[in-house]
Amino acid sequence: MHTFSRRTFGALVFAGATAIAANAYAADKIHVGILSLASHSPSIIAEAKGYFSEQDLEVEFVSFQAAQPMAVAIASGDVDFGMTAISGGLISLADKGVVKVIGGALQETPEIEGQKILVSKAAHDDGVTAPAALKGRSFGITTTGSSFHYMAHKIADKEGFARSEIHVKPLQKVPAVIASLKSGQIDAWSIVPNIADGLTKGPEVIEIGKISDYIDNYQVTTVFTSTKNTEEKPQLVKRFLAGLSKGIADYNAALVDKTMSEEETAAIVAMIHKYVYSDQPLEKADPRIRAGAMRINENAALSLASVEDQLEWFKSESLAPATATMDKLVDASFVETR
C-alpha cells in the first residue's frame, strides 16, 4: 500500500493541474504552403522568430512547385494557409465555396524594381529585343491559368496583338521553365527580380522589359485559406495574419527598405536560406536572396482592383467559371483593402 505525505500529494495535484493547463493551451498546429521563392520569406521569418508561436500557432511548412496544387491542398484541408499567385484552380475552388483569398502579399509598386521580362539568347539574337516582338513567340508558364499566363496575355493586350499570338507553353514547375529558357526551348518568361537577376548574369538569358509597364499595381500574390477556416475559425485566421504581418514587417525592413542593421539582415537571410536556395551554400545564396526583393504589403493589405482585373481575365479566357465573383473569391473582412 502506498502512502503520500501532504507535501507529496500537493505536488502531484499541482503537476496534474499544470499538465491540464498546458494541454488546454496547447498551440494549434497548422500547415502552411510555400514555394521556394524569396517572396515566401515572411512566413519563414515569422516561424523562425517565434511570431507564430506568440499567436499559439505551431507551423509546419509544406513545399509546392506551383500555385495551383497549393490551392487544391487548402481546399482538401491538407494545408491551412497559402501565399501565392491567384490561379484558375483557386478561382474555381472559390466558386465552389471552399477557398477564400484573405489578404495580399507581393505587389508591384512604382518605387521598387519588379518582375522582369526575359528572353533566351537565341530569341534575342533572332530579333526579340523588346516585348512587342513577342508576337508569334513562345512564353513559358507553369500551368494554364497561372500568374505567368496572365502576365503573357497582359503583354499582348498592351502591345496590341492577339493573345493567341503569344504561345504559352505549360511546363508545370519553375525549374523546368528556367531550364527551357536557358536552353532556348522557349523564347520568353517573366519572373521576380531575384531570380531574373541571377539568370541574366549568365550568357543564356537577356532582360527586355518590366511587367510594371504592362500591369498597374499588380497584386502578384495573395494570402488564402479555406472557407471553412474563415467561417468556423476566424480567430485562427486573425492569429495567422498577425504572425505573418510581423514577418512581413521584418522582410521589408531587412530586404526592401534596408533599415535593419547588417547583422540583423544577415540573420534574416540565414532564416530564409533554410527554404530558399537551400541547395547552395549560404555565402552563394545570400546575394541571390537579397537581390531584387519586392515589397510585401504591410499587414497583408489587399488590392481589390488588381484581384478583380485578374478575375475578369480568367473568366474572359474561360479559365474560371463564368459564375465566379469577387464575393465568392475574397473575404475582405480580415485586412485593409485598397
Domain 26-107+219-329 of CATH type 3.40.50.2300: no
Shortest CA distance to 55 belongs to which of 241, 296, 229, 333?
241
Cell numbers for 155:
503583354
Cα 123 to Cα 12: distance, rounded to the nearest angstrom: 76
Q: What dihedral angle (degrees, nearest 10) is formed by the CA atoms of 80, 272, 27, 253?
A: -100
- 101 touches 224 (CB < 8 A): yes
pLDDT of residue 87: 84
Kindly tell me the burial class for residue 157, based on how many C-beta atoms sit within 10 Å of its own C-beta (0-12, 13-18, 19 or more): middle
Mean pLDDT of the chain: 91
Q: What residue spans in the chain does CATH classification 3.40.190.10 cover? A: 26-107+219-329, 116-213
Cell numbers for 115:
518582375
- 168 touches 93 (CB < 8 A): no
Residue type, 240: F
Which band of pLDDT confidence, cut at 50, 70 and 90, is reported for residue 2? very low
DSSP 185-223: SSSEEEE-HHHHHHHHTSSSEEEEEEGGGTSTT-B--EE
* % of the chain with per-residue pLDDT over 90: 76
Span 293-314, pLDDT tens digits:
889 999 999 999 999 999 999 9
Does the pLDDT value for residue 20 go beyond 60?
no
Sequence-distant (≥ 6) Cβ neighbours of residue 32 within 8 angstroms: 43, 47, 59, 60, 61, 62, 79, 80, 81, 82, 83
Domain 116-213 of CATH type 3.40.190.10: yes
Sequence-distant (≥ 6) Cβ neighbours of residue 55 within 8 angstroms: 239, 240, 242, 243
Span 145-177, pLDDT tens digits:
888 999 999 999 999 999 999 999 999 888 999
CA distances from 231 to 10, 28, 75, 102, 307 (A): 43, 17, 14, 12, 21
* Cα angle: 193, vertex 196, 197; to 5 degrees: 80
Which band of pLDDT confidence, cut at 50, 70 and 90, is reported for residue 16? low
Cα 165 to Cα 214: distance, rounded to the nearest angstrom: 17
Span 253-285, pLDDT tens digits:
999 999 999 999 999 999 999 999 999 999 999
Asked whether the whole model's pTM tops 0.85, one would answer no
Does the pLDDT value for residue 49 go beyond 60?
yes
Which band of pLDDT confidence, cut at 50, 70 and 90, is reported for residue 11? very low
Q: What dihedral angle (degrees, nearest 10) is formed by the CA atoms of 279, 36, 203, 138?
A: 140
